[in-house]
Chain A
Amino acid sequence: GAVVSQHPSWVICKSGTSVKIECRSLDFQATTMFWYRQFPKQSLMLMATSNEGSKATYEQGVEKDKFLINHASLTLSTLTVTSAHPEDSSFYICSAREEGVYNEQFFGPGTRLTVL
């Protein structure tokens, strides 16, 4: 299957700082990428859909000014958590959609964010 990478794999930051997470599709081009958040013992929750060259589409309840998404190229999307607070601590996972018959989504390994 296609490979999606995320960087960093884990990050610890102080409250009030901003953190940028990168998501890259390594062997295919992805017009659409997705950002998910997963809290312990909970399912993946879609935060936003990122489209190359246009504004992201955010799910209800997700603050677009707090979670900035940029999809500048067909292989890279970034999520910036601005003014992070302890309640933002979570596991953030991106996926990239490979265009084809089934438009399968391939997931990155995730980024664990801890805000102190």
Chain B
Amino acid sequence: QKEVEQDPGPLSVPEGAIVSLNCTYSNSAFQYFMWYRQYSRKGPELLMYTYSSGNKEDGRFTAQVDKSSKYISLFIRDSQPSDSATYLCAMKIPGGYQKVTFGIGTKLQVIP
């Protein structure tokens, strides 16, 4: 079993739709949770960073963490064609070198 599971998609939605992206994880030691956006042939860009259960909002993006279920989500409201990219969830254990473990990424396409 992989430490982090993420559906690779692709996920196609019409412009303006609400997008829901999800990851599950198996290691309860993960305490920090991130979402990265990666455009084709580019490095990942940090979108959201959370460290506690609950919701965190930043503009059109909302990150949700449920540690009891080992489940994290990223919601994108009013999706735009420019949101078309691969979204990777990532998480890490506090302390040490803080190695980050990534999901495989979900490819999102927002259709105008």
Contacts and interface: CB of A to CB of B under 8 A. Distances in A.
A12 interface: no
A6 B41 CA distance: 13
Contacts of A32: 97
Interface stretch (B13-21, B59-67, B71-79, B98-106): B98-106
B15 to A, nearest CB: 25
Given A102-B32, A102-B49, A104-B49, A109 B43 contact: yes
Given A44-B88, A97-B98, A105-B100, A110 B105 contact: no
Interface string A73-116: 00000000000000000010101010000111111111010000
Contact of B105 (A43, A91, A109): A43
Nearest to B42: A109
Interface SS majority for chain B: loop
A61 interface: no
B45 A112 contact: no
Interface in A41-91: 41-44, 46, 49, 57, 91
A41 B8 contact: yes
Contacts of A95: 43
Contacts of B49: 102, 104
B81 interface: no
A21 to B, nearest CB: 13
Contact of A104 (B46, B88, B105): B46
Given A32-B97, A102-B32, A1 B46 contact: yes
B103 A43 contact: yes
Contacts of B88: 43-44
B97 A110 contact: no
Interface of A: 1, 4, 6, 32, 34, 41-44, 46, 49, 57, 91, 93, 95, 97, 102-110, 112
